[in-house]
Structure 1
Amino acid sequence: MRNILLFLLLLGVAGCNDFLEESSQDEIRPSTVEDLMQVMTGEGYPMNFLEYGYTELLTDNVKCNGSSSDGSMISTMDNMRSLFLWEDDMFEKLTEDGYNSWKALYRKIMGCNTILGYIDKVSGSQEVKNNLCGQAYVLRAYYYFLLVNYYGMPYNVGDPKTNLGVPLKLVMDVNDGFMKRNTVAEVYDQIVKDLEVGIQLLEEHPKDMSLYKINALAGEAILCRVYLYMEDWDHALEYANKVLKKKPTLLSFASMPTGMMEPGFMGPTWSVYNLSVSDEIIWMYGDYKTFSSCFPSLQGSIPPFSISEDLQNLYEYNDWGYDTESGQWYYNYGDLRLPAYYQYVMDFTTMFVGYIFGYKGGPSQNYASFGIRTAEMYLNRAEAHIRKFMETGNDEFRVLALADLNRLRATRFDTQNVAYKDVDFSDKDDLWNFYEKERRRELAFEGHRWFDLRRFGMPELTHIYFVEKGLEETVTLQEGDPRYVLPIPPSAMDNNTYLTQNKR
């Protein structure tokens, strides 16, 4: 055990070095597949969302509220300002090292490469080895998918065969040279290849594990998302169908305790990533609330950033209803995602009342979980069908898309006093616009919005930043703005002269 802990320490030090700098690990090696399983858990799996989830601050899901009257949040705001305003030096000013996704994700890729590099050198069951390799391939693909969508152009913009993506490092060996950026298409090709290999290994060598571990179903769900981004509608449908055939369940929000439907409930632990209530989780990971510095969780605290009115107003929540048969008014909460997905704050000193903190629950009040859910698969399938309807005019695709959208929405609304009413759109543009909003409503604060904005045409966005009222700073991200691609962190550029920085 002591040797494997030393190995993990060395691996961690290597991972913390600048991009593609590694230290030799010849002196200490894992000797059993159990050792590699420890490496996989510590260095291959994501531990928290801070490393990848900060992009919500780049989107229209978040607004700035200024600092509290006592000035206690000024340092936090100064730390986040460069990110919120899409500044070129965003990674130089951020004090939290976890916001450097380049560094964090390549470290995880190094962990996966270590598994694949050592797997034939350790003792143990071949069945376990094959399953572990399957996990490593799927996770490596997932991390490259995140990297290429942070630091490369969207797959559907320009030519992915010439647009620069990120360097592909696929072995654990020390690389004495520098690596250039592969194209977006090359990175996506590797992602698909890794996922196909990983899924096959996990299908042929299954293990009964928790939802915190990758299995074949999770690999298929990730591949569905990848094909969606590539606008390969047929393959996206194929994998959405595979996943939903095996796991079609959705959590019914009407089963939420009534008290939690009310505004002001402290911490939405009853939600889609709570294992005790949710049956729609495919894969999950998480940590303590990772936006706590931006979205304080205590009642009476006004956060410097919170969910935008634009997002909050998308939810059809808090309506009265009238029963014509009984002649009685009744209370119908409507779309329950607002109290389920967001934390509510009441500050009677400043009269600030509203939803501030976005997260989808977890095993406890102070825990936030993320991952992949069946809800996304229904949305992905609906999107592919809408796109095929828009391209062909075949009404069957419209009907199939609406069926998935209504099935999802029916589980999100309060149906205690009134049945859910299906939405229906005959016009392709109206259907697409509704779908975009529904995807935003359902997947907010799970890391999707920034990527969706990119692949949906990179629309114009405006952020207003201020510490004090009257000192507002307005910055606009123009349609198609090159700042929709994040800058490669300076530490990576300094240590690899072969890298080409993204245009800003």
Structure 2
Amino acid sequence: MKKYNLLSSVGIMLLAGILTSCNDYLKESSDDLLIPKKVDEFESVLLGDGYPNTLTADVEWMDLMTDDAEVSPSANPNSTQSDGDDNVFLPVGRGAFTWAQDIEYYDTSYGNAYQNRYKNIMACNIIIENANTMEGDSMEVNSCVAQAYALRAMNYLYLVNWYGLPYNPATADKDMGVIIRLKSEMVRDQPQRSTVAQVYAQIIADLDNASIRFKKAKKSTNVYLMNEKAVDLLKCRVALYTRNWDDVIKYGNAFSEDDFNLYDISTLKKEDMRHEKEYVFLKAKNPEVLFMFGGRAFTRQAYMDNLVFINGAAYAPSQTEEGDLINSYQEGDNRIYAFFCQDNIEYDSEFDYYNVYEAYRHLPYKHYAMSEYSQALRTSEVLLSMAEAYVQIGKLDLAVDLINLLHKKRFTADTYEELSVSGFASKDVLLKYVRDERRRELCFEETHRWDDLRRYGMPRIEHKFYASKNSAPETYVLEQGDQNYTLELPQSELGYNQVVERMNRRAIESQ
């Protein structure tokens, strides 16, 4: 068995029924070493560093690159805070919001999304390398190894959709992907990128291996651990991203109608979903949640959180133009209350000011709860992926049936209207509707919107940036098919890897 230098003090903390893990488990050297042999020791490695426990904090800035974000020049005019125009997040997020050539210049946390995914991958590599020598009950070993394969695949899926070129079946075997690291040695090598096709082949192989191992493992109902159903969802997502419509449906059919078990918010009243009543949509008790991860969210959406008190310019969900996110929710769609803050005024006696939640600014809070993890793989994603695949292969009636299934759980009974194929003028009109539905349902989760925009052909996006409350708008445009739809590697990689291919993003000037 290969030996690793690991901190022996690492353990697993259980708080409020939720697994969390210590950071910095893996170290290159230590005076107090633990060489893992038993399955529970490897599980500590996996839980400590293999799970994407920092994902929300790592990627929230990516929301700013999408058409789901805007800068409001006067985000909260009713705020009583005297220094309300002092929005520290405005300049930090500017690089992402304007698709700058060097986003890292504006946001020093830019590299975390990249570094932490490879940190997760490194821990998974340790588990996988020792799969055949790990000591312990065979079912527990298979569970541990299955989780490692699935988590490695999940992290590579993130990386290739952020730092690799968008998937194109005609050119994927030549297009620039990301570096594939499958060894656990901590060496400062200078590897080249693999192609997009090679990265996806690795992802698919890892997910297949995860499925094989999970079938030999004890079934778990713990939604804080990667599991077999979550793997089926990831397979469905990979098939969608690679335009393999038949496989989208095949993996989607692994879920029965009972498995979808969508969270029924149709019967909830607006008052039931108020933030101050500690309502939260993404939670372990949500029946459609398969896997929760990403760490706890200490803010509602870090770059938009100042909406509760800033009276000047601030980032907000897009809502100014007709086609913006907030304006796409129809009357009776309870997601507008379940996913976003409503009107409320709270006085903070400690700091002597009011938090003013303005409903018309729609601060996102679907994953804000100190008692819950902040991201989730949900069966509603599978349903929407299948609907898109059915449209693509011409089975429009089946696509509409799935959308109706979702709407029954989202719209109030008095506003729900069953859709029919005849209500759509063409296949393309229905496809747009399904994709818009995906936007509404999955907004501000993982990096769904950015990933989807890339696979939709990288449409043109226009952002207006306000440097302060009274400043004139600066207009920035991400053009159709723009090279800046792909992120540059961070300096943590470029600083020592002199041979890796660079993205060479362009400078986008204000108009």
Query: Which of 9, 34, 40 is 1:5 aligned to?
Result: 9
Q: Judging changes above 3 Å, is the alpha-carbon distance between structure 1 residues 50 and 222 closer, same or farther for their aligned structure 2 residues?
A: same
Structure 2 match to 1:354: 360
Moved more, 481-490 or 288-297: 288-297
Q: Any idea what SS the aligned residue of 1:377 has?
A: helix
Contact 1:167 1:179 in 2 (8 A): yes
Cross-structure match for 1:480: 481
SS of alignment partner, residue 253 of structure 2 = helix
Which stretch has the larger CA shift, 126-135 or 148-157? 148-157
CA displacement, residues 26-54 of structure 1 (integer Å, 9 cap, x when unaligned): 95312321111111111011213122343
Structure 2 match to 1:344: 342
Deviations 1:260-315 (A, max 9, x none): 36xxx335854542233x21111111412455542227855457111111111000
Q: 1:141 to 1:427 in 2, by over 3 A?
A: same
Letter in 2 for 1:452: D
Q: Residues 3, 495 of structure 1: CA spacing in aligned structure 2 closer, same or farther, 3 A cutoff? A: closer
For these two proteins, the number of residue pairs brought into alignment is 467
Contact 2:443 2:449 in 1 (8 A): yes
| Change over 3 Å in CA distance of 1:316–1:24 after alignment to 2 | same
Q: Name the counterpart of 2:18.
A: none
Instruction: Give the match's secondary structure for 1:422.
Output: coil
Question: Structure 2: how far apart are the matches of 1:25 and 1:500?
Answer: 38
Amino acid at match of 2:160: V
Match of residue 450 from structure 2: 450
Distance 1:373 1:305, change over 3 A: same
Separation in 1 of the partners of 2:306 and 2:298? 9
- Could you tell me which residue of structure 2 aligns to residue 420 of structure 1? 417
Name the structure 1 match of 2:199.
187
Structure 2 vs 1, CA of residues 27 and 228 (structure 1 numbering), >3 Å: closer, same or farther? same
Correspondences of 1:46-445 after superposition (within 5 Å): 46-48=52-54, 49-66=56-73, 70=83, 73-96=86-109, 100-156=112-168, 159-175=171-187, 177-244=189-256, 247-260=259-272, 265-266=274-275, 269-276=278-285, 278-285=286-293, 286-290=295-299, 292-296=301-305, 299-302=308-311, 304-309=314-319, 310-317=324-331, 334-344=332-342, 353-361=359-367, 364=369, 369-389=374-394, 397-415=395-413, 417-423=414-420, 424-445=423-444
Q: Is the 8 A contact 2:344 2:358 kept in 1?
A: yes
Aligned match of 1:325: none
Deviation at 1:367, TM superposition (A): 5.1
Change (3 A) 1:419 1:488: closer
- 2:291 maps to a residue whose letter is W
Gaps of 5+ in 1: 16-21, 318-333, 390-396
Alpha-carbon distance between aligned partners in 1 of 2:71 and 2:63, rounded to the nearest angstrom:
12
- 2:114 and 2:241 map into 1 onto residues whose CA distance is 20
Q: Counterparts of 1:454 and 1:426 in 2: how far apart (Å)? A: 26
Q: Deviations over 1:409-462 (max 9, x none)?
A: 1210011x4553325325112111211211111111112100000000100001
Contact map agreement 1:113 1:136 (CA 8 A) in 2: yes
Change in 2 beyond 3 A, CA 1:53/1:6: same
* 1:42/1:51 CA distance change after superposition, 3 Å: same
SS in 2 for 1:204: coil
Please list the CA deviations of residues 207-235 of structure 1 after superposition, one character each: whole Å capped at 9, or x if unmatched. Answer: 32410111111001101000100001111
**Counterpart of 2:459?**
459
- Aligned 8 A contact 2:63 2:450 in 1: yes
Identify if the C-alpha distance between structure 1 residues 354 and 7 changes in structure 2 by more than 3 Å, giving closer, same or farther: closer
RMSD: 3.0
| Worse-superposed segment, 61-70 or 486-495 | 61-70
Separation in structure 2 between the aligned mates of residue 298 and residue 482 of structure 1, nearest angstrom: 31
Hey, what does 1:492 align to over in structure 2?
Answer: 493
Task: Report the Cα offset of residue 115 of structure 1.
Answer: 1.6
Please tell me whether the aligned partners of residues 7 and 29 of structure 1 are also in contact (alpha carbons under 8 angstroms).
no
SS of residue matched to 1:247: helix
Q: Which amino acid aligns with 2:251?
A: Y
CA distance, structure 2, for counterparts of residue 33 and residue 225 of structure 1? 30
Gaps of 5+ in 2: 1-5, 13-20, 76-81, 346-353, 506-511
Check the 8 A contact 2:8/2:33 in 1, yes or no: no
Matches of 2:370 and 2:272, distance apart in 1 = 13
- CA distance in structure 2 between the aligned counterparts of 1:237 and 1:351, rounded to whole angstroms: 41
Identity of aligned residues (%): 30
Give the equivalent residue in structure 2 for 1:37.
Answer: 43
| Contact 1:268/1:341, CA 8 A, preserved across alignment | no
2:437 maps to a residue whose letter is E
Instruction: Indicate conservation of the 8 Å contact 1:151/1:485, yes or no.
Output: yes
Shift of the alpha carbon at 1:105?
Answer: 0.5
Q: CA separation of 1:62/1:289 partners in 2, compared to 1, >3 Å: closer, same or farther?
A: farther
Supply the distance in 2 between the matched residues of 1:356 and 1:280 (Cα, whole angstroms): 24
- 1:485 maps to a residue whose letter is T
When residues 222 and 70 of structure 1 are mapped into structure 2, their CA distance, relative to the original with a 3 A threshold, is same
The Cα shift of 1:165 comes to: 0.4
Change (3 A) 1:14 1:500: farther
Aligned residue type for 1:62: A
TM norm structure 1: 0.85
Alpha-carbon deviation of 1:361? Answer: 3.9
> Which amino acid counterpart does residue 281 of structure 1 have in structure 2?
V
1:88 is matched by which residue type in structure 2? Q
Q: 1:349 and 1:139 mapped to 2: Cα distance? A: 39
For 1:67 and 1:491, the matched residues in 2 are separated by 37
Going from structure 1 to structure 2, the CA distance change for 1:349 and 1:56 (only over 3 Å counts) comes to closer
Q: Name 2:78's counterpart in structure 1.
A: none
The amino acid that maps onto 1:42 is G
Structure-2 change in CA distance of 1:437 and 1:399 (3 Å): same
